[in-house]
């Protein structure tokens, strides 16, 4: 399960339906052009928290049908509704996903015992391995080293998608749990995370910048830090421009410039203005090869 995974975008029609053909095109672009090792399906980048349970299942099904056994697949099943989470976990497992993942429960201020019970309930419902999705900036859930240890004590919690800038905690997790998988979740911080001996990364911008991500990761692994820093600088120039223009709509527009039917966004997300679309085209022409 080591390697680079795209946090997969999903293509939607203007009326909010899943655009299956567009989704397949996004999958193919990631595998054939960006050459990532796998896909992280129905995460934040896939607008997961804006769609219905049936649409989530549809996306899981279409992606698996397109990929088959060509790449590794991780199914993000986390939900505030534990019944939905366990239902999706079983559905993705039955489809043959290599692992499931679940965001920490959010919005309500759950204590750690509640968070732990959430993860163990999901695992009790399914015969699959689970990767914690930790993104404190969006969930408000900050877990410490001891709490990660309590979760990692479950032999089927195999790792964490670590989307946080706390490199002290990242290093401590790496030191304390050498057999658990650590995936970096902040694309702009891939180099410093790689120096700390992560096992891979899961990134939104890998949809359009996966090849550079691999360069950063492999150069760092080989000790070529100056070269890796140069590639991270270009990557961060790209990320700066994308964030300034709107993360998700800009990535979708760049995919369109590359000939991929990336569709539109789910409301309440808004599409790019005409000027925003021109800026996305400029970014694509400047950075995407």
Annotated active-site residue 161? The verdict is yes
Strands (E), the chain: 3-7, 38-41, 72-76, 99-103, 130-134, 157-162, 181-184, 200-203
Annotated binding residue 46? no
Select which of 133, 183, 252, 256 is catalytic: 133
Contact indicator for 209, 217 with CB cutoff of 8 Å = no
Alpha-helical (H) ranges within the chain are: 20-28, 53-67, 82-95, 112-124, 136-139, 145-152, 167-176, 190-195, 206-221, 225-245, 247-257, 274-287
Annotated binding residue 185? yes
Annotated binding residue 111? no
Question: 256: which residues sit within 8 A by CB, 6+ positions away?
Answer: 262
Annotated binding residue 163? yes
Annotated binding residue 187? yes
Select which of 161, 180, 252, 256 is catalytic: 161
Annotated active-site residue 109? The verdict is no
C-alpha–C-alpha distance, residues 208 and 115, integer Å: 34
Show binding-site residues for aceneuramate: 44-45, 163, 185, 187-188, 204
Catalytic positions, written as ranges: 133, 161
Binding site per annotation, positions: 44-45, 163, 185, 187-188, 204
């Amino acid at each position: 399960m080591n390697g680079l995974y795209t946090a997969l975008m999903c293509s939607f029609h203007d009326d909010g339906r899943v655009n299956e053909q567009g989704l397949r095109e996004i999958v193919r672009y990631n595998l054939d052009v960006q050459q990532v090792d796998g896909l992280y399906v129905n995460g934040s980048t896939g607008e997961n928290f804006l769609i219905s349970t049936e649409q989530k299942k549809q996306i899981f099904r279409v992606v698996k049908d397109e990929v088959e056994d060509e790449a590794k697949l991780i199914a993000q099943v986390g939900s505030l509704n534990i019944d939905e989470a366990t239902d999706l976990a079983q559905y993705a497992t039955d489809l043959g996903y290599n692992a499931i993942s679940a965001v920490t429960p959010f919005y309500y201020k759950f204590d750690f015992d509640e968070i732990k019970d959430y993860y163990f309930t999901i695992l009790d419902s399914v015969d699959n391995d689970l990767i914690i999705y930790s993104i404190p900036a969006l969930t408000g859930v900050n877990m410490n080293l001891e709490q990660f240890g309590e979760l990692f004590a479950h032999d089927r919690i195999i790792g964490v998608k670590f989307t946080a800038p706390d490199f002290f905690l990242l290093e401590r997790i790496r030191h304390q749990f050498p057999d658990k998988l650590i995936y970096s979740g902040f694309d702009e911080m891939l180099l410093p995370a790689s120096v700390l001996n992560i096992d891979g990364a899961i990134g939104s911008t890998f949809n359009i910048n996966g090849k550079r991500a691999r360069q950063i990761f492999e150069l760092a692994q080989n000790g070529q830090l100056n070269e890796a820093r140069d590639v991270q600088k270009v990557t961060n120039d790209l990320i700066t421009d994308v964030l300034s223009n709107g993360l998700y709509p800009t990535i979708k527009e760049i995919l369109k410039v590359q000939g991929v039917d990336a569709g539109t966004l789910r409301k309440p997300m808004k599409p790019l203005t005409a000027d925003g679309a021109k800026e996305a085209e400029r970014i694509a022409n400047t950075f995407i090869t």
